Amino acid sequence: MSKYHLDYLEQLESESIHIFREVAGQFERPALLFSGGKDSIVLVHLALKAFRPGKFPFPLVHIDTGHNFQEALDFRDNLAAELGEKLIVRNVGDTIKEKNLTEQKGKFASRNALQTYTLLDTIEEFKFDACIGGARRDEEKARAKERIFSVRDEFGQWDPKLQRPELWDTYNGRIHKGENVRVFPISNWTELDIWNYIKRENIALPSIYFAHNREVLEWQGQLVATSEFMQKDPTDVISIKKVRYRTVGDMTCTAAVESDASTIDDIITEIIATKTSERGETRIDDRVSEAAMEDRKKGGYF
């Protein structure tokens, strides 16, 4: 009898589907955090494989800062409508008004950190006990510390020193009242794995991931899209560049990379050659301090 082998993408897919089904089995009110970025789009694709022909056992949830790329928002809305799945959107702008929060000021004033307030309020509003996210361990060192089932206390906070062991793909979803769990089904994937999977599965993406002409401001070696959210100075160097995005966060904290990659094969070739991680190359918010991401996560961030 011949042996049955899974290739590496099939193994990653199988593990992720197993995690999705563990969430459905262990939690009463889970949610899938969906921004319209490539990682959360892959999560939706994996959820389809885990649960179709049935409906998802959770809604899609987006914490919208109001500073997002329109291409990602349009894709988010269209995909949710096409799949017939429930999409919940909560706006950081509403939280700022309700809680009288102070926004950052300055050239690239970001609402990124303020997302935490809206996320925690949304978890409380819908009593979510598990939030599935698209974080990967290769993105950033704080994310590399996360377990796949990562417990948050009753205040939504994360303690990296108090994590549960996960042996033999055994995930512990037991929590006390008020606690919740963040679940990362693609923790073991890399950026290259994501793109190879997108190619194999022929997954559609927002146009922003492919090379296009865009007006950008050149700042400390980075190319930041001009927008109404950016403070422009007379000395700013603004030009039209052919760019694409490796990761899609807010317009105020995500830089583009110069690229001619117009197909998925082009992008894969580009990623194989690069020596810089996607967040290291493009995310301004991670440069605030050495522990910027970990500090945000401890406070309840994604």
- pTM, two decimals, is 0.91
CA–CA distances in Å: residue 84 to residues 24, 48, 59: 19, 12, 11
CA distance 226 to 217: 6
DSSP secondary structure letters along 216-261: EEEETTEEEE--TTS---TT-EEEEEEEE-SS---TTTBEEEE---
CA distance 114 to 103: 8
At 276, give phi and psi (nearest 5°). -120, 135
**DSSP-based three-state secondary structure for 278:** helix
Write down the pLDDT at residue 15: 96
CA distance 116 to 109: 16
Write down the pLDDT at residue 162: 85
CA distance 65 to 128: 20
User: What strands, in cross-sheet order, belong to the sheet with 180-183?
Assistant: 87-91, 60-64, 30-33, 130-132, 180-183, 149-152
Write down the pLDDT at residue 294: 77
CA distance 45 to 43: 5
pLDDT tens over the chain, length 302 residues:
677 788 999 999 999 999 999 999 999 999 999 999 999 999 999 999 999 999 999 999 999 999 999 999 999 999 999 999 999 999 999 999 999 988 888 777 888 888 999 999 999 999 999 999 999 998 877 888 889 999 998 888 888 888 888 988 899 999 998 899 999 999 999 999 999 999 999 999 999 999 999 999 988 888 999 888 888 888 888 999 999 999 988 888 889 999 999 999 999 999 999 888 777 767 666 555 666 777 777 777 77
Please state at what angle helix 191-201 crosses helix 38-51, rounded to 10 degrees.
Answer: 50
